[in-house]
Amino acid sequence: MTYAIFATGGHQFRAEPGATIKVPLLEAEPGSKVTFDHVLLASDGTHVHAGQPTVQGAKVTAEVVRHGKDKKIKIYRFARRTGFRRHAGHRQQFTEVKIQDVKVG
């Protein structure tokens, strides 16, 4: 089983061919191809290749499925005995990608 661990948007993701994952918002249209070449670790099924810091020649190719917003998280600040209360919400934007190919290098 081939897989790779790549970094994008300050987060790390595990990619396997055929998997669909949510990554931080990318500047790409739905239906277009994107390539992630900042691969930290890659496996071809028999050997695991660890990068220092990245694996040379390894890349992950994916197709953009859609853009969207995650569930709302609630932020609540409170200071006791002072009457201070603030609340807000936040919805993080994401891009959903379907992994097409994992090239180990």
Residues 34-64 have pLDDT tens digits of 999 999 999 998 999 999 999 999 999 999 9
Number of domains observed in the structure of the chain: 1
Rounded to the nearest angstrom, the gap between the alpha carbon of residue 105 and the centroid of all alpha carbons in its chain is 21
CA distance 93 to 26: 9
Specify the residue for token string 């569930």.
Answer: 71
On the question of pLDDT at 70 being above 90, the answer is: yes
| Closest listed residue to residue 28, CA positions, set 11, 14, 8 | 8
Across the chain, which distance is largest between two alpha carbons, in Å?
Answer: 61
Q: What is the pLDDT, as a whole number, of residue 29?
A: 97
Q: What is the pLDDT, as a whole number, of residue 1?
A: 85
Name the pTM for this structure.
0.85
Domain span at residue 21 reads 3-103
